[in-house]
Structure formats: C-alpha cells, structure tokens
Structure 1
Amino acid sequence: MDASHELLRGADPAALLTLDGTIRYLNAAMATALGRSAEQCLGHGFGDLWPASQRMSAESLVAHAARTKAVAMRVLDFPGRGGAPVASLIEARQVKDPASDGQLVWVHALDARNDLASLLIPFRMATTAAHLGLWMYSPKERQLEWLGGAPPPGRALSRPHCVAFHSDVGSAR
C-alpha cells in the first residue's frame, strides 16, 4: 500500500479499484474479510473475489460508482469464520488517484456496529424506487414501524401484503 492512500488506513475493510473493478490497492482488513491474502487479491476483479451469490451485487456496486460518479451502497455478506456470513454495508465512490491523477473507485465497509439501521439503507432505497413500503415488526413491543417508501402511514392499504420468515410468523400474528 502506497503511503499516500489515506483511504486505506482505517480499521474497516477498504480497497481502491480501477474503474473496471480491478483491485489496485487494499488494506489488510479487506483481504482478511475476503478470506485471502493481499497478494491473492491485487490485480483481480473485485467481484471475482466474492462467492457466486454475492458476485453480481459486488460488481454492480462498483459499476454504479464508476459509471455515475455517485455514491453507491450495497449490503454484502463477507465470508465469516465457521461459514457464518457477516453482513456489511459497503459504500463505493469515485476518488482521485494521487499517483496518476486518474480516477479510482474506493470501496469500504461502513462501521454499522452502533447504527444497525444503516444496514437497511439499500432496502429503503429499493422499496422507494419500486413504489413499495418497507416496514419492520418488533415482536417485543408488538409494533410495526414504517421505514419508508409507499404508501405512507395513515393511508388506507387496499391490498396489504405481508412477507415474514417462517420462524417469525408466530410473533407477527
């Protein structure tokens, strides 16, 4: 890692990619999170280092940031120890390459440990774009919370539809 890459100095996983998604630089936390050494990551496509189930999301994250020059976010599951995935909110944005004066894409995991609701940002954006509503049910408080999208609270729902995990059906009744 070049000393000029301030963006890679944090404790959270981070990498600098070319606009086509090739890893140019990464920190040790990103290599560890991907379950590989830094040498196994450098020069490879960012999407290629993810499990098949995550590849399209990882690639579209980078492509969106590279193509639109806008901040992009996705929830991706890093492979965890013992096979349990670790969900992380990953942000991607274009930055200036201090070495070549060109553009790179900076991808990094946002620290959501103190704000777990931030993991819902991509879902909020997707439901709003699809003209759907996102609600969260808390069985402890026996309460529904509107997280955004359509229709807004207070508006009559002509055809309400609820989807719940099988293990949550009992507490949602």
Structure 2
Amino acid sequence: MLHDDLPVSIAGLSLTLTALTTVALILLYGWITDAREERGLLSAAQCEAQAEKSRYVALQAALEAEQGRRTQDRAAERRADQQRLKVERDAMERQFEEQRASLIAETMEATFMMIHNGKFASAEPTRSKVIQFPRDLPHQQPQGHPERERSREHGVVGP
C-alpha cells in the first residue's frame, strides 16, 4: 500500500491472513488434541482401580477363609456337644437304673413284709346281689301281645 501497488498489497494481506489462520489452527489443534494431562489422570485412576480390585479380592479371600474357619469351629463344637451329651445321657441312664433298682427292691421288701404281716390276706369273695326288676309296671306294654307281622307284597320279605 505504500507503493501504490494494490495487487501486491492484497496478495501480502492474503498471505499474512493465511499464515495467521494456519498458526491459529495449529495451536487450536494442539490444544484440542493434547491429552497428556488426561492420560496422566487416566493412568492414575487405572492404578487406583487396580489397587481397589486387589484389595477387594484380598478381602474376599480373607472372608472366605474366616467363614471356612467358623464352619470348622462350629462342626468341632457340635461334635464336642454330642460327646458331652452322650456322656451325660449315659450317666443319667445309670442313675435312673440305680434308682429304679432301689425302688423295685424297696417295693418288693415292702410287699413281702405286708404279705408276711397278713395285710394282703385274701378275703372271701363277697356275693353279689341281683336286683330283679318288677314285671308289671304301669308304663310297660303287656307281654302277651305278639308282634305284628310285616306285609310280604310281591314276594319281598323285610327284615
């Protein structure tokens, strides 16, 4: 424009605008496609997730081991309880049999003593008295009337 040459000035302006636009586009492209920071954040998140997964697997394994141990403990307690109950049951049966035997012995001795003292002497059987019902009561039907015979129609005999 200083030399009054318009085509050269327009060409220079066009080249300058094109260069500035290209530089701006290159800067925008780098700014948009620069993922270094996001890649760092993603890597950190992946490491954290992997650590969380490892901790979860370790806790799950510990929980299963604890459950297995508790199951074994309960089974051992059950066996010990069954043995203890068997011992107690046998002791109670022995005690019951001893008490039963002593009661039977006392009963037999008492029965022998009662028989010996005559308390179980057989008494003479008492004769029972049969009560006769009166034959002629006012509300009874006379015995002399025979029962009516049922009809035997068509050859059928009723009961």
TM-score of the superposition, structure 1-length normalised?
A: 0.15
* More relative contact order, 1 or 2 (CA 8 Å, 6+ apart): 1
The structure with the greater share of residues assigned to strand is 1
Report which of the two structures shows the higher radius of gyration computed on alpha carbons. 2
